[in-house]
Amino acid sequence: MGRILALVSLVLAACPQQTAPQERSERTPRDAAPATPTAPATPTATAAAAALPPPSPSAPAVGAPAVGAPAVGAPARRPHTVPRADLGTGEKLPRHGIVLHTFGMAGESTITIDADAGTLRTWASLMGKPRPRVRTRKLPAAAIARLVALATAAWIEEPTGPMAVATDIREDLYVVDGDDGFFLQGHPIDAFHAPTGRPAAARAVEALYRAAR
C-alpha cells in the first residue's frame, strides 16, 4: 500500500499543472469600436491659423457696431446747421436751394435758386423804378448742381478770419436743405477779390451774381 501511494505521488509530480485562464477586464481590439480617422491638416490651413492674432478680450464681436459709432445710414450733421424754422426770415425760401438778398444804396434784390424746380428767380426793387422787376428762368441741371455745391461749401466752411467790410451794402445768404438751414450775413460776403476769411462763401455769392446776369 505504501508503494502504491509512492507511485501515485511520482505520477502526479511528473504531470504539468494546468491553471484556469484569468478573465481580462479590458476589451479586446476586435471588440473595440473603430476610431474615426482624422484628416491631416494641410500646410495652408496650418499657416493661416498660425497667422491669426489671438482674440482681444476688449475687441467687439465680429459684425457688432463699435461703441459710439453712428447708426448705419444716419447722415452726418453739417456744421453751422440751424433748423429751417429758426432762420427767422420773411424770405420765401425753397424747400431745397439758395437765396441771396442784397441791400444797397440803389435798392435791394434777391436771387433764388430752387433746386427742386431747377429755376433761377431774380427780384429787384431799385430806386426810381415804379415797380419791382421779376424774372424766372430754367437752368441746366449741371448749373444748379454747381451752385448748390458752392453753397454747401460755404455752409460747412470754417472762417479763417474777418470778412471784407464796405459801407452801404449788406448781403444775406440762405442755404436750405429740407428742414436744415444755414445763414450768413456780410457787409458784404462777396470780397470782390479782396482777402477774406470766408473764401468759399465769397465764391458762392460771386457765382450767384454771374448766374443771374
DSSP result, 67-102: TTPPPTTPPPPPTT-EEGGGS---S---SEEEEEEE
Residue 33 lies in a domain: no
Residue 67 lies in a domain: no
Residue 58 lies in a domain: no
Query: Total structural domains in the chain?
Result: 1
- pLDDT value at 182 more than 70: yes
Model confidence at 183, in pLDDT bands (50, 70, 90)?
A: very high
- Please give the C-alpha separations between residue 110 and each of 102, 128, 131, in angstroms, as whole numbers: 6, 18, 15
- Phi/psi at 103 (5° precision): -120, 135
Residue 70 lies in a domain: no
Residue 136 lies in a domain: yes
- pLDDT value at 36 more than 90: no
Question: In whole angstroms, what is the distance from residue 182 CA to residue 173 CA?
Answer: 8
Over residues 91-95, mean pLDDT:
89
Burial of 97 (0-12, 13-18, 19+ CB in 10 A): buried
Instruction: Single out the residue of 117, 89, 119 nearest to residue 212, CA to CA.
Output: 119
Q: How far apart are the first and last CA of the chain?
A: 155
What are the grid coordinates assigned to 59, written together?
475687441
So what's the pLDDT on residue 155?
97
Grouping H, G, I as helix, E, B as strand and the rest as coil, residue 22 is coil
pTM of structure = 0.64
Output the domain CATH number for residue 147: 3.30.1560
